Chains A and B, each alone.
Chain A
Amino acid sequence: MALKLSDLKTTAHNDWCPGCGDFGILNAVQMALAEMNVDPSSTVVVSGVGCSSKAPHFIKTYGVHTLHGRSLPFATGIKLANPNLEVIVEGGDGDGMGIGAGHFVGSGRRNIDMLYIIHDNGVYGLTKGQASPTLGLGMKTKSLPSPNMNQGINPLLLAIACGYTWIARGYSYDVRHLKDLIVKGAKHKGFAFLDVLQPCPTYNDIQTKEYWAGEGLVDSTGKQQPRTYKLEETGYDPVVHSDDEAEMEKKVQQAVLKSFEFGDHTPIGVFYQNEFIPTYEERIAHKSPSYKTNPPAAQQIAHEDGTPLANIRKLLEELRVT
């Protein structure tokens, strides 16, 4: 039976501000899950803390709303315990690139088969608009008392450096395009990272919906030009096609260069895709072959009467002295 979009909605009260970019991302996630026809009870949406991290409560799959910055390690534990689950992680840029930056790095190195979506709006919304890690140096959004004193982070560049094997950017008001990216990212074998440009209508008065639509940016004919463009429409090929170091290096370098384009000419779409790097699940199975067929969540650990199923007699025998 095909899953309908309405099957993925909950009745939990949504308290996001009117016009928040989170709504577009939420819709895109629900559309993607419907299109993939997932079993909601085999799907987990994990989040951190912040406005966007409330998203799991509005999606009718298992939802695990965790601690500020810790969505990735929670998701890692869930996925490694039960690799048969579809795990999608969501959170803000402060959650992921600020307090959770160490986990972002560690997760890239592991390459677990999950998708991580960052709602990237340049501000800490829930605490009333402080500068977040992606806000550029010297920018002064509405509620900042003085211009931002920190340099903005480039999430795509960081993701490349950390070893993410699928890296993309979407825009929250291009919901169909975003939905396609989410489907691709979820299907990717390995850790997929999706950075989503998301206007915050309440606190970010610079990177607004109008800004991304091209307000103040006109071509020679005087026509307004959107500030985003789609990579796939330019013939850009993000895919690593062979398990060949030169090929990988070329695609990484290309993605690095592309990641610097931002502002008036901001690419959205897939920057990099490599399925030749073994996932962490494969790395575990390489050491423990039974992991593949009998992962932790599938394992029986006791007989009906509570007697343990593990047999440690051999281990004890090695330690026997009399």
Chain B
Amino acid sequence: MKRDDFLWMIGGVQGSGVDTSANVFAKAAASGGLHVFGKREYYSNIKGEHSYFQVRVSKDLIRSHVDTVDMLATFEEETIFRHALEVRSEGAIIYDPDQDPKRLEQIPTIEANVRATLSSELSKSGLSSEVRGILELARRRGVHVYPVPYNELLKQVGAKFGETSLSTLQRMLNVMAVAASYALLSYDENLVKDAVRRQFKSKPKVAEMNVEAVGAAYDYVEQKFDGSFRYKLSPSKTDEVRLFVRGNSTVAMAKELAGCRLQTYYPITPASDESEYLEAHAEIELDGSAAHENPQAGEVAAMGAKGNIAVVQSEDEIAAVTMAIGGGLAGVRSSTSTSGPGFSLMAEGLGYAGMNEVPVVVTLYSRGGPSTGLPTRHEQGDLRFALYAGHGDFPRLVLASGDLEEVFYDTVRAFNYSERYQTPVIHIVDKALANSDATLPMLDLNRVKIDRGKLVKGPITDGVNGEYKRFVHAPDGISPRPPVGTKGAVYWHTGDEHDELGHITEDPTNRDQMMEKRMGKLEVADREIPMEERLNFFGPEQADITVVSWGSTKGAILDAMGWLKEDGISVNFLQIRLINPFPTERVKSLLSGAKNVVGIEMNYTGQLIGVLREQTCIPVDQLVVKYNGRPMSCEEIYDSLKSIHEGKAPKRIVLRHGA
């Protein structure tokens, strides 16, 4: 397998600027026309625990991370101990020689078992359990080790700005590690400096000091190690307009575009970043360009008026979902964002929205469960729960996005579905996507359309005696929907079974009619929603292996398919996006001639595969799962599909890579 890309990794103590350095590294690469995919791994902790970032860059499109590290940038000892042995032969480690005498036993944040393993490995090789020992071990495995005396260089930078406080200067350690990395790669220094200026644009003085630090690191590396590292990285010219985005903010931007005007949330990882983005951008610019089509809207925009989204931090997730349903009742596109534990509390609210035919969108960020589980790690363990949360039968749509571009368009669709079918929509966004940063081609806003379904803008003119039949029987089960507060007449809502006015009734005939009205909407959705919004099928029609998967594994599967093709193994891939209503007939026909169906999922039980079997009676031949909280790499998928193809794999493969 041939890799034409570069994986850079940086680690450090949480709260010490690891995020910033990864951001600078990624932006410098992205603005040089390279494709970038970044992955963040962190503990459920504020300060002090270890976190790391991997940034994969390439001239070609990449959609996933890899396990083999080409270059490890460090500025403290823990990262060296934890990750030095992940660096491939011929790869590089950059470190601060002041760390040489630091001892493994002195790092309390390294788990005892990790420490024991490292310790025994070092002593087996006759090496000390110091930084210099583990670096020697890496060297013996063919890794180039580059000492960069950050503190000395920082003092020189400080002298130019009259800054003598070492602790202030040390805030630039992270940027220095980035600069030293790029200098070894002989990458364009100006792109790095621009990325630094952009990162610190609100603090010009800090920006200039950091730019100076970049220069100092470049000078030092060029002088000391000129040409010693073989791998070079150079910008790639592109005419494509690209963005560098993160999952959470992609959802948030799409919500504003979709017309979501009430967002509620209770703080939870990894969902809150989205709500915070919305709160920081609560005033929304309006587009007056099509004023002739909609004079009222045009007038609003022409007056320089703005739209806005009300963002409410609630007392718990029960309140978050019920507030959002309240917004939906009042005719406002409303949503809440949460993760597994919060979603557990939302079950009763979902049932109410289903019973009362209220549009509401729940963005469910999927993290490691059960219970509090792995709060900051990744898993696709909530699919079954998303499909069935709540007592009784009620309709819901469940969609799951596979990459950041899908996340954007699916977010808008979630609101369209919820208003069109007047029922809750659960949009699953994996933690691996929420906390991924990637380059994307400019989003095509012309593709985005808002469909409000049978919303009635009022006033109500067909009320009888001041009362309106909100739940009037309609051939497609979908009644016209004037929101609560529409002038002209009134109606009622209740969680009890109700008549067309919304009053309680336990009449059996009415019950049957209402149940069939509500559940029938899913059949309408099944007929109406275009197949291209429901599933993707990649690769040749006939292939040696057919992969069935969903969500964020998409990128790694597609990347691995490219490698397998080079090995002469043909793979096609069915990605299911709208999981309820399940695209049963199309899936059946796509899988009808498949030779070897392989399910790939980030959970223990193979939840989608279970749904597949339930809906189509098609069993999979092999299952590849992972549940250690770390996303699947394309190498892992490549290796497992290859061994399946060779007939060497067990029926169930559990992937275990990750730190």
Give me the interface of A with B, judged by CB distance under 8 Å.
Answer: 7, 10, 12, 39-42, 44, 49, 54, 56-57, 60-67, 70, 72-82, 84-85, 102-103, 105-106, 284, 287-291, 293-297, 299-316, 319-322
With A57-B494, A77-B323: A85-B293 Cβ-Cβ less than 8 Å: no
Q: How far is the CB of B315 from chain A (nearest CB, A)?
A: 3
List, in ascending order, chain A residues with CB within 8 A of B206's CB: none
Q: How far is the CB of A13 from chain B (nearest CB, A)?
A: 9
List, in ascending order, chain A residues with CB within 8 A of B443's CB: 316
Across the interface, do B285 and A311 meet the contact criterion of CB distance under 8 Å? yes
List, in ascending order, chain A residues with CB within 8 A of B494's CB: 57, 63, 65
With A63-B492, A300-B300: A74-B487 Cβ-Cβ less than 8 Å: no
Cα-based distance from A316 to B443 in the complex (angstroms): 8
Q: How far is the CB of B573 from chain A (nearest CB, A)?
A: 28
List, in ascending order, chain A residues with CB within 8 A of B328's CB: 77
Cβ 8 A contact of A322, one of B240, B320, B322, B451: B240
Across the interface, do B241 and A77 meet the contact criterion of CB distance under 8 Å? no
Cα-based distance from A219 to B261 in the complex (angstroms): 60
Cα-based distance from A299 to B486 in the complex (angstroms): 14
Cα-based distance from A288 to B305 in the complex (angstroms): 11
With A76-B326, A308-B259, A322-B240: A103-B450 Cβ-Cβ less than 8 Å: no
Q: How far is the CB of B400 from chain A (nearest CB, A)?
A: 23
Interface of A is mostly: mixed
Interface size on B, residues (CB 8 A): 94
List, in ascending order, chain B residues with CB within 8 A of A321's CB: 27, 30-31, 242-244, 439
Contact with A along B333-359 (1 / 0, CB 8 A): 110000000000000110010000000
List, in ascending order, chain B residues with CB within 8 A of A81's CB: 261-262, 310, 326-327, 329-332, 334
* Closest residue of B by beta carbon distance from A302: B450
Interface presence of B442 (CB below 8 A): yes
Cβ 8 A contact of A63, one of B314, B483, B490: B490
Interface residues of B in 116-173 (CB under 8 A from A): none
Cβ 8 A contact of B257, one of A70, A312, A314: A312
Q: How far is the CB of A283 from chain B (nearest CB, A)?
A: 10
Q: How far is the CB of B371 from chain A (nearest CB, A)?
A: 20
Q: How far is the CB of B495 from chain A (nearest CB, A)?
A: 6
Across the interface, do A299 and B261 meet the contact criterion of CB distance under 8 Å? yes
Cβ 8 A contact of B466, one of A60, A67, A289, A320: A60
Across the interface, do B312 and A80 meet the contact criterion of CB distance under 8 Å? yes
Cα-based distance from A106 to B495 in the complex (angstroms): 23
Cα-based distance from A310 to B296 in the complex (angstroms): 14
Cα-based distance from A105 to B54 in the complex (angstroms): 43
Across the interface, do B445 and A78 meet the contact criterion of CB distance under 8 Å? no
Q: How far is the CB of A292 from chain B (nearest CB, A)?
A: 10
Interface presence of B590 (CB below 8 A): no
Cα-based distance from A49 to B348 in the complex (angstroms): 13
With A308-B259, A312-B253, A321-B243: A41-B490 Cβ-Cβ less than 8 Å: yes
Interface presence of B232 (CB below 8 A): no
* 8 tightest A-B CB contacts, nearest first: A77-B326, A301-B259, A106-B315, A296-B261, A81-B330, A77-B323, A302-B450, A73-B319
Across the interface, do B240 and A305 meet the contact criterion of CB distance under 8 Å? no
List, in ascending order, chain A residues with CB within 8 A of B330's CB: 77-78, 81-82, 85, 296-297
At the interface with chain A, which of B7-15, B44-52, B496-504? B496-504
Cα-based distance from A42 to B489 in the complex (angstroms): 9
- Starting from the known contacts A41-B485, A80-B326, 4 additional A-B residue pairs (CB-CB under 8 Å) come to A64-B492, A65-B496, A296-B310, A296-B332
With A40-B466, A291-B310, A306-B449: A74-B325 Cβ-Cβ less than 8 Å: yes
* Closest residue of A by beta carbon distance from B322: A73
Interface presence of B596 (CB below 8 A): no
Across the interface, do A310 and B312 meet the contact criterion of CB distance under 8 Å? no
Interface presence of B258 (CB below 8 A): yes
With A57-B503, A105-B315: A64-B493 Cβ-Cβ less than 8 Å: yes
List, in ascending order, chain B residues with CB within 8 A of A57's CB: 492, 494, 503-504
Interface presence of B256 (CB below 8 A): yes
Across the interface, do A54 and B332 meet the contact criterion of CB distance under 8 Å? no
* Closest residue of B by beta carbon distance from A287: B282
List, in ascending order, chain B residues with CB within 8 A of A74's CB: 322-323, 325-326, 329
